[in-house]
Chains A and B, each alone.
Chain A
Amino acid sequence: MPRAKKKSAGRILYHGRDGRGNKVYALWLKGEKGMPYRLIDSFLDLYRLPKEEFYMVDTPARDNALLVAGQFLRRMPLFSPLGLYLVRLGLKKEYGGLSSLVQKVIGNLTDLP
């Protein structure tokens, strides 16, 4: 699991293709999201790219206490395994919400022409 650093904000990570051949990416942003959204929109305008090619989903999951503690401990070499364990627990806690969001997104993609 890669650690998110300040310098990596805005980095787009490719994760593979889904069953319908759509490319799936992950993007980490912190704070107000209006500016990055406008940047992406401007990029698409700049190169006259079709906006339908791009489907951005904002995950509502926020860092819970386990995730925050886990990420903090991950920075310390001695407690890194404990940090990773806490991160896993934190993710498990959010898993239900994330899973239903993904199902909704897949449903929306299926409805698209």
Chain B
Amino acid sequence: MKVIYHCYGGTHSSVTAASIHLGFLPADRIPEKETFLRIPLYDRQEADEHGQMFFMGQDEFGNEVYIVARRNRPEVLENLMAGLAAMFDTPRDGYMLVNVMVRVNLTMMIGGFLSRRWGFIRMGRPIVTAGTQAAYFKVVKLVKDVRRELEVIHGKKSALFQRQQISPGSCGGGDSHRLFTGESGTGS
């Protein structure tokens, strides 16, 4: 499966989401500003590269993760991908488009425009990074939703999910085995 995170400029929110997906950024805490700037494509892409898909890496399930800038025309990306998939007989469910713009806040937009559109990098970069930090857990939630959906698609369940299904009872004292035979628990 090819997972394609897309946003307006392909430099902040989509790069952040792809990095969280691949484990380059933590999912449990907000990273330092310097950590964002160390990501190869963060606040780097120029307008003449919009539309170009960039490979970010492969996750543990073998899904390829990409980012792409589509400006304010998500319908063009969606329609073109669907049309080309049909034209070349590639599987329609072979890719997943994830719109990260829904998690972008005003600070990110202002900082992003200052840095990328108008070239005021010194002024825009700290603003957009602060905005990314503010929106971070929203992006994390989106990525978790995507990963959950991918797990369903692949029919795989993470170790954590499986652990939650195991009865918390002590060794020999649990009654989870009865659930399989249809017997009711001793206490109920």
Contacts and interface: CB of A to CB of B under 8 A. Distances in A.
A39 B87 contact: no
A46 B87 CA distance: 15
Nearest to A11: B79
A7 B75 contact: yes
A9 to B, nearest CB: 5
A10 interface: yes
B73 interface: yes
A43 interface: yes
B78 to A, nearest CB: 7
B88 A47 contact: yes
Contacts of A42: 51-53, 68
Interface string B1-23: 01000000000000000000000
Given A12-B86, A12-B87, A38-B51, A6 B75 contact: yes
Given A35-B70, A47-B90, A49-B88, A10 B50 contact: no
Interface in B9-40: none
B51 A27 contact: no
Interface size, B (range): 20 to 34
B53 A9 contact: no
A29 B79 CA distance: 11
B139 to A, nearest CB: 23
A113 B43 CA distance: 43
Given A9-B79, A29-B76, A36 B90 contact: no
A90 to B, nearest CB: 25
Contacts of B73: 9-10, 35
Interface residues of A, number: 28
A87 to B, nearest CB: 22
A109 interface: no
Nearest to B53: A42
Max count, chain B CB within 10 A of own CB: residue among A6, A9, A10, A42 = A10
B93 interface: no
Contact of B50 (A12, A29, A38, A45): A38
B168 interface: no
A43 B81 contact: yes
A35 B76 CA distance: 9
A77 interface: no
A23 B87 CA distance: 9
Interface of A: 6-12, 14, 23, 25, 27, 29, 34-47, 49, 53
Interface of B: 2, 48-53, 66, 68-71, 73, 75-81, 83-84, 86-88, 90, 95
